[in-house]
Amino acid sequence: MEGVSTTDNRCKYLSLTLKYFSILVVAIAMWERLPLSAQSETVKIGMLIPDMATTEVTDAAQLAIDQANDRGGFRSIPFELVVRTTEGPWGAGSKQSVALVYEDSVQAILGSLDGRNAHLAEQVAVKSHITYLETRATESTLSQAYVPWYFRCVHSDDQKSVAILELIKQKGKGSIAILSTEENDSRQVARSFIRIAARKEYNIPAPLIINPDESDIRQLIDQIRKRNIRHLIVTVHSQATLEIIGLIRERMPEVMIIGTHSFTTGIHLQSPHWNSYDGMTLISAEILLTPEGNQFHDAFQSTYGVKPGLSAYHTYDGTKMIIQAIQHVGLDREAIKEYISETRFSGWATGSIAFDELGNRTDAIRFTHIQE
C-alpha cells in the first residue's frame, strides 16, 4: 500500500507539472497575440557606437525613427532608439550587446563599430538569435563566420578590393601601392587588397605605413616616385594623407589616387573644400547623385543644422531597414531576420540594398571621380 501511495504522488506531481507547462505555453501564445500596447510602451531598436561623441550616426538613426513614428510607428506604438557605447576595456562590445538584448529588450541591433567590436557584437547575435546590422565595419572576416543573423549595409573589404582592381585594369594597370596606418581597420583593408591582388596575379608590395611626421611623409613620396607607382590606394582619411595627396598631385599628376570606403567616410560630404580631393576617385560618394540621398541630406541638415557624412547615410538606411522589417512581420526575431535576408530594398539613400547568404551587400560598387 505504501508503494502505491508513492506512485500516486509521483503521478499527481507529473500531472501538475504537465498542466503547469501547458498553461505556460498557452500564456506565452496569448501574450504574443496581445496588442503591443499591452506588452510594451515602445518598440526598441538597439544601437552600438564607439562613444557618445559619435553623434552623426545616432542623429541619422533617430531621424529614421522620428519619421517612422510620424507615420504611426508600429501598430500606433512608437519606436525607440536605445544607444550603448563600447567605451572601456576590451570586451565592452560584448557586454553592451548582451545588455541591449537582455536588459533593454531590443528587437534588433544596429552597429556603427570598428571590426574588433563588431566581431564581439556578432557573437552575441549568434547566441541570442537577434538581428545584428552593421553600418560601418567593412572587415571581410565578419561575414565569413556564417552567422544567419548578421548583415552589413556596407560592402566588405574583399568586395571593394575586387572592384578597385577591376577599375585599375580598365585604366591600364601599372604599379600599385596602398597607404595604410597601424590602426586595425586600416591594416585589414590593406591585407584584403594584397590578398585579392595576389589571386588576380597582381604583385603588390607591402603597404606604405603613414606616419603624421612631416619627414616621413616626404620619404613616402620619394618611395612612391622610386617605385614608379601609377595607382595609389588610400585607406584612411587624415591630415597626413591629405598632405600626401596634395604633394602627389603637385609632383606626380599622372598617379591615379583611389580613396576606399574608410577614406570617404572621413570626408564631410558636400563640403566646400572638395578641391582637397580634386582628381581623386572615391568609393561610395555616388549617394550625392540619387534623389533619395539628396532627400536624406536635406532632412538631416534641416533637422540638425549640419550636413551628414557617409556613415550617416548608411546608418539611416540600416535603421529604416529594421523598421520596415518589424512593420511587415512583427516582433518575432526569426521573422525579422528572414525578412531582411529575403528582401531587396530599393530606392534608398545609398541605393538598392540586398544581401547574399553571408550577409554581404550585393549591389554593384560604384566610384565617383572628383573633377574641378
pLDDT at 251 over 80: yes
C-alpha cell at 213: 611626421
DSSP secondary structure letter of residue 141: G
Is residue 233 very low, low, confident or very high in pLDDT (cuts 50, 70, 90)?
very high
Q: Check whether residue 60 and residue 145 sit in a common domain.
A: yes
Under 8 Å between Cβ of 177 and 161: no
Specify the amino acid at residue 272: P
The answer to whether residues 145 and 165 belong to one domain is: no
In the chain, how many domains are there? 3
pLDDT per residue over 116-126, tens digit each?
999 999 999 99
- Regarding whether 165 and 139 lie in a shared domain, the answer is no
Cell of 113: 563599430
Q: Is residue 372 part of a domain?
A: no
**Which domain, by its residues, includes 83?**
38-154+290-364
CATH number where 126 lies: 3.40.50.2300
Specify if 369 maps to a domain: no
Residue 10: the pLDDT is 45
pLDDT of residue 215: 64
pLDDT at residue 287 in the model: 63
Among the ranges given (80-94, 211-225, 227-241, 301-315), the one the predictor scored with the smallest mean pLDDT? 211-225
Question: Is 280's pLDDT higher than 80?
Answer: yes
Query: Does residue 7 fall inside a structural domain?
Result: yes
Tell me: the pLDDT tens digits for 163-213? 999 999 988 878 999 999 888 888 999 999 999 999 888 888 788 888 766
Least confident of 7-11, 62-66, 185-189, 333-337: 7-11
pLDDT band at 354 (very low <50, low <70, confident <90, very high): very high
Tens digit of each residue's pLDDT (9 = 90 or more) over 128-173: 999 999 999 999 999 988 899 999 999 999 999 999 999 999 888 7
**Same domain (yes/no): 164, 218:** yes
Q: Is residue 277 part of a domain?
A: yes
| pLDDT confidence band for 267 (50 / 70 / 90) | confident
Residues 123, 214 within the same domain? no
Q: With 0-12 CB in 10 A as exposed, 13-18 as middle and 19+ as buried, what is 4?
A: exposed
Same domain (yes/no): 114, 192: no
Q: Say whether both 277 and 162 belong to one domain.
A: yes
The verdict on residue 317 lying in a domain is yes
For residues 50 and 107, membership in a common domain is answered with: yes
Residue 107 belongs to a domain: yes
**Integer Cα distance of 54 and 266 in angstroms:** 13
Q: For residue 4, what is its C-alpha cell?
A: 502505491
Domain end among 250, 283, 316? 283
- Characterise 175 by phi-psi region: left (phi > 0), alpha (psi -120 to 50), beta (else): beta
pLDDT in tens, 303-330: 999 888 889 999 999 999 999 999 999 9
In this structure, the answer to whether residues 252 and 272 fall within a common structural domain is yes
Q: What is the pTM of this model?
A: 0.84
Residues 81, 115: one domain?
Answer: yes
Which amino acid belongs to residue 215? S
**Helical packing angle, 184-199 and 115-128, nearest 10°:** 90
Residue that finishes a domain, picked among 283, 298, 332: 283
Q: Are residues 234 and 313 in the same domain?
A: no
Are β-strands 109-111 and 367-369 bridged in parallel, bridged antiparallel, or unpaired? unpaired
Same domain, 120 and 183: no
Asked, for residue 116, whether it belongs to a domain, the answer is yes
Residue 78 CA: distances (Å) to CA of 37, 70, 136, 351: 10, 9, 26, 27
